[in-house]
Each structure stands twice: as C-alpha cells, then as structure tokens.
Amino acid sequence: MLKTHGMISSMSRKGNCWDNSVAESFFGHLKTERVFFTNYKTREEARKDIVDYIEMFYNSRKRHSYLGYVSPMEFEKSRLLEKAT
C-alpha cells in the first residue's frame, strides 16, 4: 500500500528502538513515572490517569532536551510568537 502512494516505511526492522526513539522515550517515561507505581482498578481509571499525565505534566511542565529544555507547551507558545512577528 505504501508503494502505491509513493511512500517509504519509516521502520527499518522489527524491534529496532532507534526507528521510533521519540515514542520509545515517551512510553518509557510514562511507565517509570506513572504506570509502574499505580494499580488501576479499571481501564477507564487507567485511561483518565494517563490522559492526566500527558496533559497536565508531560506536555505542560516536563522539559525535553530535544526542544531545548523547555516543555512542549512552552515550545509551541514560542513558535506561535515567532510566527506572529
């Protein structure tokens, strides 16, 4: 299907973490900072907690080296200000 649309797969081989290092890093942080220390009673409880982690901490306060040690929210604000000027 990818060839039909002139696309190239971004994965090189099964199990190669370097193919998707950003996602691997995120899920590693999620597990060590939240999931490993929590016993969820229901899937809904887990879903709400994980959404809270992403929205209230990971995107708003956690600093990322890839973004120049600012949070994704701060990075987006600075990009919007740059575009406005």
Counting Cα atoms < 13 Å in the Cβ hemisphere of 16 gives 7
* Residue-level pLDDT at 19: 64
* Residue-level pLDDT at 13: 66
Residues of the chain with pLDDT under 50: none
Q: Which residues pair with 70 in a beta bridge?
A: 64
Give tens-digit pLDDT for 43-67.
Answer: 999 999 999 888 887 777 777 777 8
* Residue-level pLDDT at 14: 67
The CA-based angle 60-56-67, given to 5 degrees, is 25
* Residue-level pLDDT at 48: 95
Q: What are the boundaries of each domain within the chain?
A: 22-84
Distance CA 59, CA 49 (A): 14
Longest alpha-carbon distance in the chain:
49
Q: Is the overall model pTM greater than 0.85, yes or no?
A: no
